[in-house]
Structure 1
Amino acid sequence: MAGALAAKRVIPLRARRDEDKEARRRELLDAARALFEATSFAQVKMADVAARTGLAKGTVFLYFPTKEALFLALLDDLLTAWFAKLNRRLAQGGTWTGHQLACAVAGSLEGEETFTRLLALMQTVLEQNVTVAQAQAFKERVLGAMGTTAALLQARLPFLTPQTAGQLIRHVHALVTGLRQMADIAPVAREVLTLPHMAPLRVDFTAELTAAITTLLRGLESR
């Protein structure tokens, strides 16, 4: 009996190696995220990632040939998690108003500053130094996730078509990118904006995003 149980616990060598590779990959992504949250993309070096994980720098490059590839993989994970989070909210049945949907989208991004900061770097930085294969794999996953979310958006807002639902997702991306860049300001500028007369320049990310999506949906509904 003991021998039979032991046999069942035996994991094929290839499977163990795959598990080890995935664990190390996850360790590298977690290190990159921690460094990014403490500083900025420009300040993070691959050597820092290696040091944080206790790995040789050359080992890091075996998993991710460039810093951009590393952070694109991190964005991929965060984007997938966010789509799943948003979809759980959208799966709650019934017809919604545009404002309800705007609140759901903006609310799903609360506490997701790391994700939105990376999303703002996607086209201009992260996709600039990766292979075609890496870029295509990322874009294929984004496309699949968009299709699922677009269907849920149509279920909540019947005036949306497959085309306008996809357009809404793209426009939300643009709004998130722009507002995150406006809200993620340097310490010196942040101090300046505390002056009372600077109030019109302050950006409340969630409130501004909710208002912008609500306005966008009103336009789509009136077509």
Structure 2
Amino acid sequence: MEFQRARRPEQVAERRRAILGTARAMLRERRVADISLRELSDRVGLAKSNVLRYFDSREAIFLAVLDEEWGAWLDDVERRLPDTGGPVAVATAVASSLVGRDLLCELVAGMAGVLERNVTVDSARAFKLRAHARTTRLADLVRTRLPVLDAAGARHFAHAVLVMTAGLWPYANPTEAVAVVLREMGSPPAAELFATGLTEGLVNQLVGLVARAGGVADYSARP
């Protein structure tokens, strides 16, 4: 694919969409840490220097993909959250909404350790402001269902969702050697462990936060 230099705003937007679309396609094939800027540039049909006219680094490209995935996921969470059922139902709905969203989980897992390591101050500022807005939106959605929580408690839970996802996701994608050993040991499939671990972790977090906020009740039963 050959591109002339974009000059009009709509041309710039088109180039950015092409780059992000290529990045998404490559992420279906391999992990973010294994994709180089040169490979991505070759795939989209631009020189590296031209790609850097639209994004200041490889990492900035994947942060933009993450931002789009994050927004789409929150739309799904809003549809999934139950109107009743307490913290167990809310936390379970949030956890289940992440199961199957491999691209989002992959990017969240690489966010702090990979993607935020090679960006300019301007790119970091723009991403962090959007990330703050995304986190606040999740916190607000949870508080709507659990008004006993204050803003701090809801934001703590929203951050815990990211931290647990980032921590558990690598274990859901072991190397082939590790996968063989896990099967030999009779362990459940790694993806199953991710879903179970995320659900249990988020339920425990949210039940604890609600209890500390004064909404003490019997939340032991699963929906």
The bucket for the TM-score relative to the shorter chain is 0.7 to 0.9
Structure 1 residue matching 2:168: 3-state secondary structure: helix
Deviations 1:53-95 (A, max 9, x none): 22222211211221111111111211122122212333x5x33
Rounded to whole Å, the distance in 1 between the matches of 2:84 and 2:125 is 35
What is the Cα deviation at residue 168 of structure 1?
Answer: 0.4
Distance 1:210 1:58, change over 3 A: same
- Larger-gyration structure (1/2): 1
Secondary structure of the corresponding residue to residue 53 of structure 2? helix
Identity of aligned residues (%): 37
CA apart distance, 1:111: 2.1
**Matches of 2:8 and 2:78, distance apart in 1:** 33
1:191-221 Cα distance to aligned partner (Å, 9 max, x none): 11111x3427955222221111111122112
Question: Match for residue 205 of structure 1?
Answer: 194
2:101 is the counterpart of 1:112: yes
Q: 2:56 touches 2:120 (CA, 8 Å); kept in 1?
A: no
Name the aligned partner's letter for residue 162 of structure 1. Answer: A
Name the counterpart of 2:53: 62
Equivalent AA in structure 2 for residue 45 of structure 1: S
Rounded to whole Å, the distance in 2 between the matches of 1:142 and 1:87 is: 17
C-alpha distance in 1 between matches for 2:132 and 2:181: 41
1:53 to 37, 44, 61: 44
Question: CA 1:42 to 1:221, structure 2 compared with 1: closer, same or farther past 3 Å?
Answer: closer
Residues 156-187 of structure 1 show CA distances to partners (whole Å, capped at 9, x for unaligned) of 11321111000000111111111102112111
Partner of 2:175: 186
Question: 1-side partners of 2:107 and 2:138: how far apart?
Answer: 20
Runs of 4+ aligned residues of structure 1 deviating over 6 Å after TM superposition are none
The structure 2 residue matched to 1:151, chosen from 128, 140, 164, is: 140
Residue of structure 2 equivalent to 1:96: 85
Q: Distance in 2 between matches of 1:154 and 1:42?
A: 35
- The residue type equivalent to 2:113 in the other structure is T
Alpha-carbon distance in structure 2 between the residues aligned to 1:32 and 1:47: 12
Report what 1:10 is aligned to.
none
Unmatched 5+ stretches in structure 2: 1-6, 213-223
Cα deviation code 1:103-152 (max 9, x no counterpart): 21112112211111111111111111101111111111121222232222
**After the TM superposition, which residues 116-155 of structure 1 pair with which residues of structure 2 at under 5 Å, given as runs?**
116-155=105-144
User: 1 or 2, which has the higher helix percentage?
Assistant: 1
The one-character-per-residue Cα deviations of 1:34-63 (angstroms, maximum 9, x if unpaired) are 222212223212221122122222211211
Check whether the contact 1:96–1:157 (CA below 8 A) recurs between aligned residues.
no
Distance across 2 between alignment mates of 1:136 and 1:96: 38
User: Where does residue 30 of structure 2 map in the other structure?
Assistant: 39
Q: Which amino acid letter does the alignment assign opposite residue 168 of structure 2?
A: L
Q: Distance in 2 between matches of 1:46 and 1:116?
A: 21
Q: 1:151 to 1:40 in 2, by over 3 A?
A: closer
